[in-house]
């Protein structure tokens, strides 16, 4: 398949099949996979240039490459009935996650000097209604002028927020990312898109009210605990993972994750397609990350790794704010409810840390080595989490529970 008309014909066939509710035949899937993989030549030089620019402007930038998942292409064909497959501009793309908002603008300007920009979606100046912020830049492929490549620029905070949207979609079997209507969860996510330090007590209470109704913290924590040890074990077992740059990450229908490290693109794409054909109820993503570190993969692909998210720490921050407010205003029942929930959450986190320490000891006992990069990264991350939990416990210990109102206070309030 070499011409744009052939590509568009395939898109029409796929759209008809989807609209009629039929299964897509193997030949059409093979053709779609062939079209996907043809973007490797287009994205590779773009990734190298974008990575060079981003690292020069901000050394700690995280840059990843991906070719759009088969499931995502099919979903977009279904959602956008007038768009031809040959004009789908985000089949190949790279993403820069940056710790500086000002750096995003600098990177955007440098990219515009390197390539022919066909379109820019500026969600930084004009955020999406749901709260999403970022730059989506579409350029002509330097290899084939009839193709486009997408470059996404996100601040790390926005990226983590976007990952939470995807995680909630997976856990609750929703499509909020694709615009499905769910007012309460959309309200919840919009509030979380704002700077947490600037939220007032009413907004914080609303976040925790929605969380309580849908048990968001509880469900996230259950899934993360379920996946944490197996994913870590897989990473340790891939002892040469640091020499690999391609990763297939899967989340199955039971919200269980696994990761495979591969050393070249051809092998990775063959494995990805094989996994997709054998189990289309799972979500798969094939990504490329240079010099990968476990922590970076967890940030870049949190909605596939499914083992951590900053929302758990944010929840503690919000609950602490509420406790301080309730303590100040003498709201005993509410104070005790939040305090009990926090205690349970902290116990879960401490139990997980203990389980991870046991896993590390077992691995070291079998292999007799604590010097490996993967083990050291894990130990360092455990130390950071333990420190955060300890700090939070110290803050809680300084709170004074509200006093029971006296008889006269109750009568004359």
Please state the rounded mean pLDDT for residues 290-314.
90
**Is 303 a residue whose pLDDT tops 90?**
yes
Sheet of strand 283-288: strand arrangement: 117-122, 135-140, 148-155, 92-98, 62-67, 283-288, 246-251, 257-262
Q: Does residue 27 form part of some domain?
A: yes
Q: Does residue 221 form part of some domain?
A: no
Residue with more model confidence, 33 or 279: 33
Confidence of residue 410 (pLDDT cuts 50, 70, 90): very low
Range 216-223 contact pairs with CB under 8 angstroms and sequence separation of 24 or more: 216/168, 216/188, 216/311, 217/311, 217/312, 217/315, 217/345, 219/171, 219/172, 220/167, 220/171, 220/309, 220/311, 220/312, 221/312, 221/345, 221/348, 223/171, 223/255, 223/306
Q: Does residue 24 form part of some domain?
A: yes
Range 145-149 contact pairs with CB under 8 angstroms and sequence separation of 24 or more: 146/4, 146/86, 147/39, 147/42, 147/92, 148/89, 148/90, 148/118, 149/39, 149/42, 149/43, 149/46, 149/92, 149/93, 149/94
What's this model's pTM, rounded to 2 decimal places? 0.88
**Is 168 a residue whose pLDDT tops 60?**
yes
The CATH number covering residue 111 comes to: 3.30.460.10
Contact 316, 347 (CB under 8 A): no
At residue 413, the pLDDT reads 43
Confidence of residue 2 (pLDDT cuts 50, 70, 90): low
At residue 362, the pLDDT reads 85
Confidence of residue 279 (pLDDT cuts 50, 70, 90): confident
Q: Does residue 15 form part of some domain?
A: yes
Nearest to 239 by CA among 357, 369, 384, 365: 369
**Is 328 a residue whose pLDDT tops 60?**
yes
Domain end, chosen from 101, 135, 155, is at 155
> CA 258 to CA 235: how far, in whole Å?
9
**Is 335 a residue whose pLDDT tops 70?**
yes
At residue 239, the pLDDT reads 55
Please state the rounded mean pLDDT for residues 220-238.
86
Please state the rounded mean pLDDT for residues 131-142.
96
Structural domain containing residue 381: 310-412
> For residue 412, which phi and psi values (nearest 5 degrees)?
-105, 15
**Is 62 a residue whose pLDDT tops 90?**
yes
At residue 330, the pLDDT reads 66
**Is 224 a residue whose pLDDT tops 60?**
yes
> CA 299 to CA 292: how far, in whole Å?
11
Between the two ends of the chain, the Cα-to-Cα distance in Å is: 78
Q: Does residue 101 form part of some domain?
A: yes
Domain end, chosen from 99, 122, 155, is at 155
> For residue 136, which phi and psi values (nearest 5 degrees)?
-115, 110
Please state the rounded mean pLDDT for residues 287-308.
88
- pLDDT tens, 340-392? 888 888 888 888 888 889 888 887 877 766 667 778 888 888 999 899 888 88
At residue 286, the 3 state secondary structure works out as strand
- pLDDT tens, 144-160? 988 999 999 999 999 99
Burial 11-45 (b: 16+ CB within 10 A, else e): bebbbebbeeeeeeeeeebebbbebbbbbbebbbe
Q: Does residue 191 form part of some domain?
A: no
Q: Does residue 377 form part of some domain?
A: yes
Burial 314-339 (b: 16+ CB within 10 A, else e): bbbebbbbbbbbbbeeebeeebeebb
At residue 412, the pLDDT reads 35
- Mean pLDDT of the residues in the chain: 88
**Is 284 a residue whose pLDDT tops 50?**
yes
Give the least confident one: 49-58, 172-181, 228-237.
228-237
Please state the rounded mean pLDDT for residues 106-130.
96
Domain count across the chain:
2
By the 10 Å C-beta count (0-12 exposed, 13-18 middle, 19+ buried), 362 is classed as exposed
**Is 128 a residue whose pLDDT tops 90?**
yes
**Is 329 a residue whose pLDDT tops 80?**
no
Please state the rounded mean pLDDT for residues 244-259.
90
Domain end, chosen from 95, 128, 155, is at 155
Burial 143-163 (b: 16+ CB within 10 A, else e): beeebbbbbbbbbbbbbbbbb
At residue 404, the pLDDT reads 56
At residue 409, the pLDDT reads 37
Q: Does residue 197 form part of some domain?
A: no
At residue 407, the pLDDT reads 34
**Is 289 a residue whose pLDDT tops 90?**
no
By the 10 Å C-beta count (0-12 exposed, 13-18 middle, 19+ buried), 346 is classed as middle
Residue with more model confidence, 240 or 27: 27
Please state the rounded mean pLDDT for residues 39-59.
95
């Amino acid at each position: 398949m070499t011409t744009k008309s052939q590509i568009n014909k395939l898109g029409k066939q796929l759209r008809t099949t989807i609209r009629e509710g039929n299964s897509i035949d193997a030949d059409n899937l093979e053709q779609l996979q062939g079209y996907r993989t043809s973007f490797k030549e287009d994205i590779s030089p773009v990734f190298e240039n974008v990575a060079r620019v981003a690292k020069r402007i901000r050394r700690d930038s995280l840059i990843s490459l991906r070719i759009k998942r088969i499931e995502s292409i099919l979903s977009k064909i279904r959602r956008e009935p007038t768009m031809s497959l040959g004009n789908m501009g985000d089949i190949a793309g790279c993403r820069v996650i940056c710790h500086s908002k000002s750096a995003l603008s600098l990177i955007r300007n440098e990219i515009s000097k390197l390539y022919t920009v066909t379109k820019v979606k500026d969600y930084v100046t004009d955020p999406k209604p749901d709260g999403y912020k970022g730059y989506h830049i579409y350029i002509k492929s330097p290899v084939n002028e009839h193709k486009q490549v997408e470059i996404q620029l996100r601040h790390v905070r926005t990226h983590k927020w976007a990952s939470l949207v995807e995680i909630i979609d997976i856990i609750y079997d929703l499509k909020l990312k694709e615009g499905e209507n769910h007012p309460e969860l959309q309200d919840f996510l919009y509030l979380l898109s704002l700077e947490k330090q600037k939220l007032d007590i009413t907004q914080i209470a609303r976040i925790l009210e929605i969380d309580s109704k849908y048990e968001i913290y509880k469900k996230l924590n259950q899934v993360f605990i379920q996946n944490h040890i197996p994913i870590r074990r897989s990473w340790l077992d891939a002892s040469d993972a640091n020499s690999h740059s391609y990763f297939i990450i899967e989340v199955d229908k039971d919200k269980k994750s696994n990761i495979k490290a591969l050393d070249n693109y051809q092998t990775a794409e063959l494995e990805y397609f094989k996994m997709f054909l054998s189990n289309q109820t799972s979500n798969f993503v094939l990504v490329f990350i240079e010099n990968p570190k476990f922590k970076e993969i967890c940030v870049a692909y949190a909605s596939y790794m499914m083992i951590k998210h900053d929302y758990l720490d944010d929840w503690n921050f919000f609950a602490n704010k509420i406790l301080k407010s309730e303590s100040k205003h003498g709201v005993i029942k509410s104070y005790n409810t939040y305090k009990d929930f926090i205690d349970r959450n902290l116990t879960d986190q401490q139990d997980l840390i203990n389980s991870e320490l046991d896993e590390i000891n077992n691995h070291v006992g079998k292999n007799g080595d604590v010097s490996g990069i993967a083990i050291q990264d894990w130990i360092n991350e455990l130390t950071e989490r333990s420190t955060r939990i300890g700090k939070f416990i110290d803050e809680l210990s300084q709170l004074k529970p509200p006093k029971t109102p006296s008889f006269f206070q109750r009568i004359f309030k």
